[in-house]
Amino acid sequence: MNRQSPKSILTGFQQAWNTHDADALAELFVDDAHFVNVTGLWWSNKAQIRQAHAFGFEHIFGNSTMTVGRTEIRMLGEDHAVVHGRVTVTGQNTPDGQQAEDRRTVFSFVVTRLSDEHGTLWKAVAAQNTDVVPGGPETHVNSPDGQQAVRYRS
C-alpha cells in the first residue's frame, strides 16, 4: 500500500476494514498511538487497537463494508496533518445476529510522517471515530432513562 500521503491512513484503514484485517489496520498506527471509538472507549497503544478491532471483526463487523466519502486534510507543518473523513459502514451485526442499519461516522486522524528502511511513510498517532446521529441533533442530554439526542433550535 502506498503510504506517502496523509490520506493514505484513511484509505489504508478502509482497505484493512473491508478485508477484516486487524493486523493491517494496526500497522497504520505508531506503537503508542491512541484511539477513541464511537462509544468513548480509549485504547492507548497499537496492540490494544489491534485487539479491539480483531474482536470487532469477529463479533460485530465481520460482514461489514466501509466506504469513505468527503475527506479533508489539514497540514500542520511538513510532517504532521489532521485527516477527517466521512465514513459509512454497512453490514454491522446486532448482538442477536441480525443486520443493523447503516452507520455513519466521522473519522479524525492525527498523522505524522516517518522514515524507515523502506523510505518515508505516514502513520497515525491518534484517531477518533464519532457517530453521526440521524436527525441532526446539536447535542445529547443525559437523564436517568439514558441519553437522548436533542435540538435547541426550532
In a domain, 52, yes or no: yes
CA dist., res. 48 & res. 80, Å (int): 23
The tens digit of pLDDT for each residue in 67-109 reads 999 999 999 999 999 999 999 999 999 999 999 999 999 999 9
Q: What percent of the chain has pLDDT over 70?
A: 99
Mean pLDDT, the chain, rounded, equals 94
User: So what's the pLDDT on residue 2?
Assistant: 58
Which residues does 93 contact at the CB level (< 8 Å), separation at least 6? 59, 60, 61, 62, 63, 99, 100
Domain limits at 73?
Answer: 7-150
User: Long-range contacts of range 15-18, CB-CB < 8 Å, 24 or more positions apart?
Assistant: 17/61, 17/64, 17/65, 17/66, 17/89, 18/65, 18/66
The whole-number average pLDDT for the span 7-33 is 98
Place 140 in a pLDDT band, splitting at 50, 70 and 90: confident
Place 116 in a pLDDT band, splitting at 50, 70 and 90: confident
Query: Looking at per-residue confidence, does 115 or 17 come out higher?
Result: 17
Count of structural domains within the chain: 1
Whole-prediction pTM: 0.90
Torsional sign, CA 128, 105, 113, 56: positive
User: So what's the pLDDT on residue 1?
Assistant: 54
Place 141 in a pLDDT band, splitting at 50, 70 and 90: confident
Among 3, 17, 1, which residue's Cα sits nearest to residue 120?
A: 3
Query: Looking at per-residue confidence, does 120 or 56 come out higher?
Result: 56
In a domain, 41, yes or no: yes
Return the CATH number at 48: 3.10.450.50
- For the cut 80, the answer to whether the pLDDT of residue 49 exceeds it is yes
In a domain, 91, yes or no: yes
In a domain, 1, yes or no: no
